[in-house]
């Protein structure tokens, strides 16, 4: 099983993220998380996650309570594109969910090598009939990049 802790997100160094991008991501973290929760969890204007294939789901920041719901959907692997959030690692471990982290600063794009690793990780689990959840904070950019690359390559 691939480690789910801090070492799971190690990747080939790419160009450094500019300080202003890191600052913007840090300052906007809680306001944008609150906005996403308002739309997706409280008002239900949009789904927190959506299936893009019978075994692949794309969505937002999974809280600890979501791990059991994802597990019930057949998810046994998670691709976490958040640099700012390690995910509910204890719940994943308890449920036997494997996580691959490709830490990417919010409002930036993942490195190509990381996307390739994530796509292969997802496909390895799909090939075994296991569900995969690909997420970032909102489920709109970083995770969508990985999901689209998986769709292009394997569907």
Catalytic residue ranges: 136
Closest CA to 53 of 116, 7, 119: 119
Please write down the HEC assignment for all residues of 100-120.
EEEEECCCCCCCHHHHHHHHH
Residues forming beta bridges with residue 134, ordered by sequence position:
58, 79
Q: How far apart are CA 51 and CA 155, in angstroms?
A: 14
**Is 57 in contact with 132 (CB distance < 8 Å)?**
yes
The H-or-E segment that residue 37 falls in is helix 19-37
């Amino acid at each position: 099983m691939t480690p789910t802790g801090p070492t799971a997100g190690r990747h080939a160094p790419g160009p450094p993220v500019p300080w202003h991008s890191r600052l913007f991501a840090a300052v906007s973290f809680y306001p944008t998380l609150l906005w996403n929760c308002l739309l997706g969890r409280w008002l239900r204007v949009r789904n927190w996650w959506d299936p893009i294939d019978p075994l692949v789901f794309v969505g937002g920041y999974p809280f600890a309570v979501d791990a059991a719901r994802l597990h019930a959907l057949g998810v046994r692997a998670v691709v976490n594109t958040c640099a700012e959030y390690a995910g509910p690692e204890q719940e994943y471990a308890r449920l036997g969910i494997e996580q691959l982290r490709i830490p990417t600063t919010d409002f930036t794009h993942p490195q190509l090598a990381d996307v390739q690793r994530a796509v292969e990780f997802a496909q390895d689990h799909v090939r075994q009939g296991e569900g995969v959840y690909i997420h970032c904070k909102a489920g709109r950019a970083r995770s969508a990049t990985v999901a689209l690359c998986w769709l292009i390559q394997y569907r």
